[in-house]
Amino acid sequence: MKIDRVRALHVSGMWDYHEPLGEASMTRPVHIYPELLSRERRWPIADTSAGPPYPVDGYFLIVDTDDGASGMYGPIGGEEVYLVKQYFAELLIGENPHAVERIWDKMYRHAIHGRKGTPMMALSKVDLALWDLKGRLLDAPVYILLGGPSRSKIRAYASMLGYSVEPDLVAERARQVVAEGYTAIKWFLPCDPKDGEEGLRKNLAVIRAAREAVGPDVDLMFDAWNSWDVPYTLRMAELAAPYRPYWFEEPVMADLIPQYRELRRSVRGVSIAGGEHEYTRWGIKALLDAEAVHILQPDVTWAGGLTEMTKICALASAASIPVIPHHGEWAATHLIASQTLTTCPMQEWLFQAGRRSNVFRKHKLEPVGGYIELPTAPGLCMELAETGLEVLEEQVLAS
């Protein structure tokens, strides 16, 4: 059996979502330039002018074999489709679809200028489509092929990207989330050093409101999205200490590994999390060698796919650093389910972005009672929804 074609299917659907959408955006490093604030996108991206329901679209990458079997991954963006065509698709033709390590290495060596960033994200999607194909060929969920299951369900934390950070609404939504069974919640803080003392107070108001709403037994995490610096993070940790935050996420720019190391050594009462914007085992190893973080957060769909994330988890396990992947949807579920509880203790669930992706899929990812049940479908649960989708275009990327 050989791979004989790589395709991209552009599909659209309607997102029947009636909850608040895109109420707030998080602070970003680029916000030091005031003129760029007005261009800020609010997540998840959707045309909200006439909805709900909202029109949404995305691409599914499909890898076909000469015996009729196919694997897929999506939704992905058009830029990634372009990069798969430019960098990787031809490399797959004629390959044994089971040989994921060989194919990954071919792609990595070919994309010497794409070891990080969007090209590596595109490589990751190819890898995931191959694992979906492998699971379908062997009639097993991918986590079983990777050594799982390590548990019957995965603890999920509620990630509140897009929700208001007004303290009253933070408290209201936090109570709602806990009532649904979640035992951990993450908020995206609105201010950074350019906002001065007033910004510190606004961030602290979010932290205080969340803690007072949920009580002492819920884990609370806060994302700075690369936008703080070392003094600001230390000051926030000092002010937030009475409210016991679990972690501050990406407090400084991703490349500032010495600053991460300084924070990990200096901060008290809160863990430093990072690695979302790092790629491959080599990027993660640099963080581990520097003892830069308490918690690693690489994204399965960005950092190299499942082939690479299993290596990342092995490195992290040897260093006794937990891996709590950024987003990743079903791909993250399969990774976590194949790892021990100490290596991958829980999964991020983005309330809005995750539900948007469910529009396209037959197998919906939706935590119940704060936990994600392990799927039983073969592959990565990538079958397209049976109704409600329109195929806009099919591209053959290589054959």
Instruction: Name 206's bridge partners.
Output: none
Q: Tokens at residue 66, please? A: 């000469």
CA distance 349 to 324: 11
Per the residue annotation, which of 31, 326, 327, 334 is the catalytic one? Answer: 326
Residue 96 near residue 133, CB atoms below 8 Å: no
How far is residue 61 from each of residues 69, 195, 370, 371, measured CA to CA in Å?
14, 42, 30, 28
What are the backbone dihedrals phi and psi of residue 193, each rounded to the nearest 5 degrees, phi first?
Answer: -55, -30
Q: Kind of pairing, strands 3-15 and 219-223?
A: unpaired
CA distance 297 to 245: 17
CA-only gyration radius of the chain, Å: 21
CA distance 96 to 134: 10
Single-letter amino acid code for the residue at 189: L
Task: Indicate if 110 belongs to the active site.
Answer: no
Concatenated DSSP letters of 156-214: EEEE-TTS---HHHHHHHHHHHHHTT-SEEEEE----GGGHHHHHHHHHHHHHHHHHHH
Q: Which sequence positions are flagged as catalytic?
A: 326
